[in-house]
C-alpha cells in the first residue's frame, strides 16, 4: 500500500527566499503524485501533479516539483516566496497495491515573513 | 463552471445525535470522494464512488457512518450516532474518472460534536 510523509509540519521563509517543502512517498507501483494547497478559509486546490510523464512538473503560481524515483521523493519548490504563498500544502499519492485510494500527507504550513 | 457544492457549511450537534452532509459534484464527474480532515491532519479518505458504485470504503467506520450516491450524481454522508472524535471538517471532492485526474474540492462542512 502507498503512504506519504511530509517532513516538517511548519516551514518559515522570508519573502523572496527559496521555498522547499519535502514529500516522500512509498508505493509498490509507479505512483501518481500531487501537491494541493489550502489557503485560509478556502478549499483545497491543485498546485501540480505527476502522472508518469516529465519528471519535472511545473504548476501554478511559480511552483514546481521533481519526481525522483531513486529517492522516492516529490519535493515542492519555488525560487522566490511571496506573502501570498502563506498556506497549508499537502502532498498526496494515488495508485498503489491494495486498492485505488488517495493518501494525503499530514500537511506543511508555510509562513512567509516580510 | 460551477464547483463542488456542499451543505451545510457548519453543524454543531451533541454526541449520540445524527447528522447528514450533502454534496453536489461538478457536472460530468464520475468519481466522488468523501474525506475527513481532523484539525492538524491531512484529509483521510472515507469513501470513494465511481458513478453509483463504491470503489473504496475501507476507512469508513461502517458501524456509524453511511454514504450513498443516488443516480451517480449527488451524495449524502451520514453519521449516526455521532461521537466526540467525529469533530472534523468533512470534505467532498470530485474528479473526471481515474486516479490521475485532478480532484476538485468543495468548501467542506465543519462538524462540532459536543
Residue B111 has pLDDT above 50, yes or no: yes
DSSP code, position A16: T
Q: How many residues does chain B have?
A: 114
Q: Give A-chain residues touching B36 at CB under 8 angstroms.
A: none
Contact A110, A88 (CB under 8 A): yes
Contact B36, B43 (CB under 8 A): yes
If you measure CA to CA, which chain A residue comes closest to B89? A43
For A62, other C-beta atoms within 10 Å of its C-beta total: 14
Interchain pair A49, B48: CB under 8 A? no
Question: B23, B108, B112: which is closest to A41 by C-alpha?
Answer: B108
pLDDT of residue B86: 97
Compute the distance between CA of residue B33 and CA of residue B49 in angstroms, rounded to an integer. Answer: 6
Confidence of residue A1 (pLDDT cuts 50, 70, 90): low
Interchain pair A51, B100: CB under 8 A? yes
pLDDT of residue A99: 53
Reported as a single tens digit per residue, the pLDDT across B44-75 is 999 999 988 998 899 999 999 999 998 889 99
For A71, other C-beta atoms within 10 Å of its C-beta total: 10
Q: Give B-chain residues touching A108 at CB under 8 angstroms.
A: none
Confidence of residue A31 (pLDDT cuts 50, 70, 90): confident
Cβ–Cβ contact B91 with A under 8 A = yes
Reported as a single tens digit per residue, the pLDDT across A41-100 is 888 999 999 987 789 999 999 999 999 999 999 999 999 999 999 999 999 998 754 456
pLDDT of residue B57: 92
Amino acid at each position: 500500500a502507498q503512504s506519504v510523509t511530509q517532513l516538517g509540519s511548519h516551514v518559515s521563509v522570508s519573502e523572496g527566499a527559496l521555498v522547499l517543502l519535502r514529500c516522500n512517498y512509498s508505493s509498490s507501483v509507479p505512483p501518481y503524485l500531487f501537491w494541493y494547497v489550502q489557503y485560509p478559509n478556502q478549499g483545497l486546490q491543485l498546485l501540480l501533479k505527476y502522472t508518469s510523464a516529465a519528471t519535472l512538473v511545473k504548476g501554478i503560481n511559480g511552483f514546481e516539483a521533481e519526481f525522483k524515483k531513486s529517492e522516492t521523493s516529490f519535493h515542492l519548490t519555488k525560487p522566490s516566496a511571496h506573502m501570498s504563498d502563506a498556506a497549508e500544502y499537502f502532498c498526496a499519492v494515488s495508485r498503489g497495491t491494495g486498492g485505488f485510494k488517495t493518501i494525503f500527507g499530514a500537511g506543511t504550513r508555510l509562513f512567509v515573513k516580510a | 463552471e460551477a464547483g463542488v457544492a456542499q451543505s451545510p457549511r457548519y453543524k454543531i450537534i451533541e454526541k449520540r445525535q445524527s447528522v447528514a452532509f450533502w454534496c453536489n459534484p461538478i457536472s460530468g464527474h464520475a468519481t466522488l470522494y468523501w474525506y475527513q480532515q481532523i484539525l492538524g491532519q491531512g484529509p483521510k479518505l472515507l469513501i470513494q464512488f465511481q458513478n453509483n458504485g463504491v470503489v473504496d470504503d475501507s476507512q469508513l467506520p461502517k458501524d456509524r457512518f453511511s454514504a450513498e450516491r443516488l443516480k451517480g450524481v449527488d451524495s449524502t454522508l451520514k453519521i449516526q450516532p455521532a461521537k466526540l472524535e467525529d469533530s472534523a471538517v468533512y470534505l467532498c471532492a470530485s474528479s473526471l474518472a481515474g486516479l490521475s485526474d485532478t480532484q476538485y474540492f468543495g468548501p467542506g462542512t465543519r462538524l462540532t460534536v459536543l
